[in-house]
Structure 1
Amino acid sequence: MISPHLFVQPKWLDLYKEAYFFSYLVKDEMVLPLVFKNRFGLRVITHPPLTPYLGLPKECATREALDFYAKSIKDKRPDYVYIAFPPGVHDLLPFKFAGFTVEVRYTYILDLEFDEEKLWRNMDKTRRNDIRKAYNDRLQVVSLDIQSVSIAAGLIRKTFARQGRSVPWLGLARRIMEKSLGEGWGRGWLVKQGDTPISFTFIVWDETTAYYLLGGYDQEKRHHGAGPLGMWEAIRFAKSIGLKRFDFEGSEIPSIERYFRKFGGVLTPYYAVRYMSPRFQIFHALYRMMKRI
């Protein structure tokens, strides 16, 4: 039986059951959850926050299955749909035929089947130097536990405050960390200088893949090696428990993309489908117009 990726498993979706309505499309042994939310009277199918993928895994994304799902989603008469498929799903023509647009996005994926020495060598020289400096300056890596989740949340808040942004999903991030730590499918690391936390890194995983999910950094206590050291610890851990891949989840922000790229992962496309009903298109045009006023 095919093991679904983490983000369509009940233990992940349970995190959102109070804020979203779920419907499930079932074909043979395959289940695709659809996550609904009503916004301004519009019926929306989309990803909850911090959920990078919702589509079928590549092992069961056959033309027949995708055709079934595309038609079934349209039959529910949504106003807006956005679903990203995990890397490896390429043939989304059934969605195009059903009136969806198909978009390409990018992530970086690290092959953990290499030995640790090769993973180290494959990193950019600058990134290796950052980590060496962290070791030389005696930065400490401490495993995150449930009691220190509040410290990690504070680092997230500081990261966004530096950009002049709020964090509407901070409470959700805390719940994800607490639940996954307690159930054994998430792990995090604080990097400290003395007793002062500088950065943290948090991953979750399924049967094959670790996903970089959360991170934070205290700019006032800056150290160029703090974030890279935490990420390197996460990579080493993911390899040690037998996972095959480390997915950085990518970014369309150039500075973050450069940061991920230097860990030596392979630039990997993944695809998303999007649909907007005529009335949603009108709503979207009015919304954009109001923002310009």
Structure 2
Amino acid sequence: MPAKSRYRDFCRTAPDVPVFAQAWYLDACATGGAWDVVLAEDNGRVAAALPYFYKQKGPFRYVTMPPFVKMLGPYLLPEFRGVLKKEHLLLEALIKQLPRFAAFKQNFYPTATNWLPFYWLNYRQTTYYTYRLNGLHQLPRVEEGLNRNIRRNIQKAQQQVRVVHNLSAEQFYQLNKMSFDRQGLAMPCSWAQFEQHDAALAANGARQMFFAVDAQERIHSAAYLIWDKQAAYYHLSGDDPALRESGAGILLIWEAIRYASEVLGLACFDFEGSMLPAVERIRVQFGAVQTPYFFVWKYNSRAFELLEKLKR
């Protein structure tokens, strides 16, 4: 059986494969390239997997992160985690099966805390941070930990807008695009890409949209929450630049946290990172804890490495 077919079966039975690594999610996100996977076995059954997304640039084929995928990397069944000898054997087996690419670049999921076998094979690593709120089962305690500025913004917004869920994915996309337009940045995905992404998440019961709407039916802000069995992720957001002073964006973060706790019954809310100082400050004001994750990379082609440096 091909590795991808085995991986699809594996995702159905493994207890905590992150949403970003689910086969159906990768199917929907593999725009501009393709995804594949290598597998490692223990006693005849799949014990570990390393899905990857690759693209072609001229003569170079390279591994990178697909659109809408914040984290990926190796996944080991829980029973093999923390046992270093077993972890090393499984990770080495995965790495050695990877085809030879011009470059390999992946953000690992925060639970992947052992990258040593990659180091032994001349990969390199940089530590990035996401921000996580844990203990959502005790939501009153989480609420007590909110910074007073956050509380003030939530109360201000509640006087101006109501939160609804029944607007369209296209309306969300347009509001998300406004945030990029305001900063003079190109929109990272087309409507067709987002529509495909949204359809996959909706079909698998793994997303909810939040809209802050005022009495004139103007949409101030929108937020897009996705989840798996372990955590909810503050995936995407957008604001109308003319209405940002209402504080609706802060209100929607809090509503997403409440939804993760009260509706989904999850213990963890992940802000999906940000290394930007202004964004980091907001995450911390919500009481989120800095959580490291690895960016692991390797160049196998000196020519491709030079090409990328020239591009930067």
Q: TM-score, normalised by structure 1?
A: 0.90
The root-mean-square deviation of aligned C-alpha atoms, in Å, is: 1.8
- 1:57–1:85 CA contact under 8 A, matched in 2: no
1:166 aligns with 2:186: yes
Find the residue that maps to 2:245 and give its secondary structure: coil
- Indicate how the Cα distance of structure 1 residues 68 and 174 shifts in structure 2: closer, same or farther if over 3 A, else same: same
**d(CA) in 2 for partners of 1:190, 1:286:** 42
Aligned partner of 1:153 among 170, 173, 178: 173
- Indicate how the Cα distance of structure 1 residues 17 and 85 shifts in structure 2: closer, same or farther if over 3 A, else same: closer
Per-residue CA deviations over 1:117-176 (Å, capped at 9, x if unaligned) read 1111111111111101112x241000145xx11111111111001101110314223332
Counterpart for residue 164 of structure 2 = 142
- Indicate how the Cα distance of structure 1 residues 254 and 40 shifts in structure 2: closer, same or farther if over 3 A, else same: farther
| Deviates most, 203-212 or 274-283 | 274-283
- Indicate how the Cα distance of structure 1 residues 127 and 69 shifts in structure 2: closer, same or farther if over 3 A, else same: same
Amino acid at match of 1:260: R
Find the residue that maps to 2:199 and give its secondary structure: helix
Counterpart for residue 247 of structure 1 = 270
**d(CA) in 1 for partners of 2:133, 2:175:** 26
| Deviates most, 259-268 or 226-235 | 259-268
**d(CA) in 1 for partners of 2:294, 2:309:** 25
Find the residue that maps to 1:222 and give its secondary structure: helix
**d(CA) in 1 for partners of 2:254, 2:223:** 10
- 1:102–1:274 CA contact under 8 A, matched in 2: yes
Report 1:203-218 matches (<5 A). Answer: 203-218=225-240
Report 1:183-222 matches (<5 A). Answer: 183-194=204-215, 195-222=217-244
Aligned partner of 1:14 among 11, 15, 27: 27
| Deviates most, 52-61 or 76-85 | 52-61
Amino acid at match of 1:107: T
**d(CA) in 1 for partners of 2:282, 2:186:** 22
Query: Percent identity among equivalent residues?
Result: 28
- 1:140–1:193 CA contact under 8 A, matched in 2: yes
1:41 aligns with 2:62: no
Aligned partner of 1:180 among 183, 197, 201: 201
1:115 aligns with 2:138: yes
- 2:29–2:67 CA contact under 8 A, matched in 1: no
Amino acid at match of 2:56: N
- Indicate how the Cα distance of structure 1 residues 16 and 197 shifts in structure 2: closer, same or farther if over 3 A, else same: same
- Indicate how the Cα distance of structure 1 residues 34 and 163 shifts in structure 2: closer, same or farther if over 3 A, else same: same
Aligned partner of 1:52 among 61, 66, 70: 70
Counterpart for residue 91 of structure 1 = 114
Per-residue CA deviations over 1:192-239 (Å, capped at 9, x if unaligned) read 112000101111111111111110011111234201111111111111
1:78 aligns with 2:101: yes
Counterpart for residue 257 of structure 2 = 235
- 1:47–1:82 CA contact under 8 A, matched in 2: yes
- Indicate how the Cα distance of structure 1 residues 17 and 113 shifts in structure 2: closer, same or farther if over 3 A, else same: closer
- Indicate how the Cα distance of structure 1 residues 174 and 112 shifts in structure 2: closer, same or farther if over 3 A, else same: farther
Amino acid at match of 2:88: R
**d(CA) in 1 for partners of 2:286, 2:194:** 24
Q: TM-score, normalised by structure 2?
A: 0.85
**Deviation for aligned residue 1:286:** 3.3
Aligned partner of 1:32 among 34, 50, 53: 50
**d(CA) in 2 for partners of 1:259, 1:113:** 18
**d(CA) in 2 for partners of 1:229, 1:17:** 32
Amino acid at match of 2:289: V
- 1:21–1:35 CA contact under 8 A, matched in 2: yes
Count of matched residue positions in the alignment of Structure 1 and Structure 2: 283
| Deviates most, 254-263 or 236-245 | 254-263
Counterpart for residue 291 of structure 1 = none
Find the residue that maps to 2:100 and give its secondary structure: coil
- Indicate how the Cα distance of structure 1 residues 91 and 18 shifts in structure 2: closer, same or farther if over 3 A, else same: closer
1:63 aligns with 2:79: no
- Indicate how the Cα distance of structure 1 residues 173 and 124 shifts in structure 2: closer, same or farther if over 3 A, else same: farther
Extract structure 1 runs of 4+ deviating beyond 6 A.
none
Counterpart for residue 4 of structure 2 = none
